[in-house]
């Protein structure tokens, strides 16, 4: 069986991978071919072509095309949670309920177009959508080689609606224990702080992580950003993961943090010269992320870790 995996559902870092009878034959990121960092809003055309040519596989030989973004049913909690938490932006809330798979449909259309460009027969070759966090979990677990029961952690900004995944793998099968949904996203909060600290979201998070050791993580209390009782998280959307009229805007640009964040912490950092108090903000954010992540890991994966000591993790925040 030959499977071509394509990514880029969330508008950044598109890539392609080719599996032949369960073995990795080729993998590549689009940015390497077009020389554009993160290849934003691009499709993995060149990377997919490279994989096929490197492995000597014809487009007609592809059995399945997999994509890490799937439709979410109305009866699931994902879309309802989003609508409830974003009640203050009724257009977004109602859209989540009545048109909640619009991003999936747009992605599916673009992938089918890409398949045609690659010479893959869309009528003969099935398009297989995979939930984003399940794809993250699989990328870590199925390549780990672990045979014992294995804890699986996935944390990123968000996929379709899920932002955090706790589960386990056993006998090659992934089981879900718990998920959290947008806007309750650790990655979203970290990304919002990335913007506030003067970097680009979905690119500069590693710079925030690099700033953190230079600051004092106990100088400010950042707990108001995310309430955590050890079992659940709730982000303060007045401050971060903000949409609509609550967003802070500057020079016509809307940011992922709120006006109240600037009232609380001061003006957004600009340039590279001003470090105080911003290095301390980076340190406080890093500490908050680690403390909450470890609390949740203990709650949902602690028993498995004490039993086998095996864990796999994936997603930008987990990294």
- State the Cα–Cα distance between residues 218 and 298, nearest whole angstrom: 23
Cis peptide before 10 (omega within 30 of 0): no
Distance CA 194, CA 204 (A): 6
In contact, 185 and 164? CB cutoff 8 Å: yes
Tell me how far apart the alpha carbons of residues 238 and 89 are, in angstroms, rounded to a whole number.
Answer: 12
Fill in the DSSP letter of residue 202.
T
Annotated catalytic residue 280 = no
CA–CA separation, 156 and 132 (whole Å): 10
Measured CA distances, 294 to 152, 157, 168, 266, 298 (Å): 13, 17, 16, 29, 6
Catalytic residue among 12, 81, 133, 136: 12
CA angle, 7 as apex, 22 and 292 as ends, to 5°? 95
Question: Residue 233 has which token pair?
Answer: 């998280």
Going by C-alpha positions, the residue among 183, 202, 3 that lies closest to residue 83 is 183
In whole angstroms, give the CA distance from residue 137 to residue 140. Answer: 5
Active site amino acids: 12
């Amino acid at each position: 069986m030959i499977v071509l995996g394509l990514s880029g559902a969330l508008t950044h870092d598109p890539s392609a991978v080719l599996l032949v009878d369960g073995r990795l034959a080729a993998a590549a990121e689009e940015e390497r071919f077009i020389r554009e960092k993160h290849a934003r809003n691009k499709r993995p055309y060149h990377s997919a072509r490279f994989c096929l040519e490197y492995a000597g596989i014809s487009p007609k030989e592809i059995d399945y095309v997999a994509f890490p973004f799937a439709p979410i049913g109305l009866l699931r909690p994902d879309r309802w949670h989003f609508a409830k938490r974003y009640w203050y932006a009724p257009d977004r809330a109602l859209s989540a309920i009545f048109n909640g798979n619009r991003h999936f449909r747009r992605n599916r259309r673009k992938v089918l177009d890409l398949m045609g460009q690659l010479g893959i027969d869309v009528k003969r070759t099935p398009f297989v959508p995979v939930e984003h966090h399940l794809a993250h979990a699989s990328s870590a677990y199925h390549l780990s080689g672990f045979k014992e029961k294995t804890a699986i952690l996935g944390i990123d900004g968000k996929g379709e609606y899920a932002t955090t995944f706790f589960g386990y793998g056993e006998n090659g099968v992934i089981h879900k224990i718990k998920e959290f949904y947008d806007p309750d996203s650790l990655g979203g909060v970290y990304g919002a702080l990335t913007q506030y600290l003067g970097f680009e979201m979905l690119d500069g998070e590693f710079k925030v992580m690099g700033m953190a050791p230079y600051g004092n993580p106990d100088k400010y209390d950042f707990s108001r950003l995310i309430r955590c009782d050890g079992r659940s998280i709730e982000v303060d959307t007045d401050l971060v993961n903000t949409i609509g009229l609550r967003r802070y805007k500057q020079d016509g640009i809307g940011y992922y943090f709120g006006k109240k964040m600037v009232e609380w912490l001061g003006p957004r950092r600009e340039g590279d010269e001003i470090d105080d108090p911003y290095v301390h903000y980076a340190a406080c954010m890093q500490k908050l992320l680690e403390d909450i992540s470890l609390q949740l890991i203990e709650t949902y994966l602690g028993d498995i870790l004490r039993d086998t000591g095996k864990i796999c993790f994936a997603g930008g925040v987990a990294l």
